[in-house]
Amino acid sequence: MKRHLPESELARDERFRRNKIEDQIFDPRNIAMSTRDLGPAQMAVDRPAISERSRSLMHGIFVGEIQALEGAGRTCYDFDDADAPFALKLDMARQCWDESRHVEISCKLAEHMGSDIGEYGESTFLYAAACNPDPVMRLCGVNRALEGLAIDVFSSMKAFGESTQDPILTYCEDWMLADEVTHVKMGSDWLRRLTDTDPDRRERALEFQRTVDKVFSLGGFRGESEENPIQITRRFRELAGFSTEECDELAEIAAQAMEDARTMVAAAAAAS
């Protein structure tokens, strides 16, 4: 079997359509939308198009779960024991089991919310982060950065489920959230163990994590204000091995990503 499978070779059936990230980045509507007032972006029942926004977000999470399963599975297989100890691969195998369950939960949740598998396009950027040839980078990019983002998303959606008294959404998010804390903690633990005697490698891995965190703060998607639909969840991140300083740093990265997006939009508007 082939090692290091590129995202272009991921197997999908005819229900799935892939989105190109460049289509989203260079969408000409972005500039016009940046000047619109749609109210606070945080998920709440009185926000515009809240049900379709929730469905679309949860479908994005569903395809993210598939890719997380694929990424953890690849890490079990892509490396020799010298690069990735057997105990790490066992953790990744356990994560595969969790992600499989999350895919099933997400399918049931989609039925509840009224969406179909493949209804919305799939972006494969999570799996792209899982293609790094260094297992430590993968753990930082996927387990600490992207599974960390999953903590924020599940926590925000759980709060939305509680506010609307939707028991199915609330429980689905709570169960998945519990697993994500474990996945992030696996990333934190293995980062420390594998780079214990190599501070340069640790710093490179943390830098990769910062880059992924910035990309996935998506110009204001995540943060700590009402302007951000997804809230940074400090409590669960601390349970997953993040220090207070690391949480502060993430909040700063998210704020910077939002500011960068505003600057880019202003520059594009001035140029048009």
Partner 1 sequence: MGTITVTPDPFNLVEFDTATIRRLVEEIAGSLGLPTDVDISLTVDEAVPHPIVATMADVVDGAIDLWCTGGCFEARDKTRAFSERHARAEITAMLLRTRDRLSGGFESAPSDAELLPGERTAWDCYTMGRVGALGHNVHRQKRRYDFRLQHGFTDAADAAFDRLWATPSTTWGAIREVCVETGAADRPKPKLPADLVRRGSRV
Q: Does 11 interact with partner 1 (rule: CB under 8 A)?
A: no
- Whether residue 129 contacts residue 166, with contact meaning beta carbons closer than 8 Å, is answered with no
Q: Does 111 interact with partner 1 (rule: CB under 8 A)?
A: yes
Tell me the C-alpha distance between 81 and 104, whole Å. Answer: 31
Q: How many residues bind partner 1 (CB under 8 A)?
A: 40
Q: Does 13 interact with partner 1 (rule: CB under 8 A)?
A: no
Listed ranges 46-54, 69-77, 149-157, 225-233: which one lies at the site for partner 1 (CB under 8 A):
46-54
Among 6, 93, 167, 192, binds partner 1 (CB under 8 A): 167
Helix segments in the chain, DSSP class H: 21-25, 29-34, 50-78, 86-113, 125-129, 135-138, 147-163, 167-194, 199-215, 234-239, 244-271
> Backbone phi, then psi, for 216, in 5-degree steps?
-90, 0
DSSP letter, residue 47:
S
**Of 24 and 243, which CB lies nearer to partner 1 in the complex structure?**
24
CB of 260 to partner 1, least distance (A): 21
**Of 30 and 211, which CB lies nearer to partner 1 in the complex structure?**
30
**Per-residue x/- track, 20-39, partner 1 (CB under 8 A):** ---xx--xxx--xx-xxxxx
Q: Does 263 interact with partner 1 (rule: CB under 8 A)?
A: no
On the CB side of 48, CA atoms within 13 Å amount to 6
**Per-residue x/- track, 50-79, partner 1 (CB under 8 A):** xxxx-xx-----------------------
**Of 32 and 266, which CB lies nearer to partner 1 in the complex structure?**
32
Which residues, in sequence order, are CB contacts of 68 under 8 Å at separation 6+?
A: 95, 99, 102, 126, 130, 142, 146, 147, 150
Tell me the C-alpha distance between 105 and 57, whole Å. Answer: 15
Q: Does 118 interact with partner 1 (rule: CB under 8 A)?
A: yes
Q: Please give the residue ranges that form the binding site for partner 1 (CB under 8 A).
A: 17, 19, 23-24, 27-29, 32-33, 35-39, 45-53, 55-56, 111-116, 118-121, 164-168
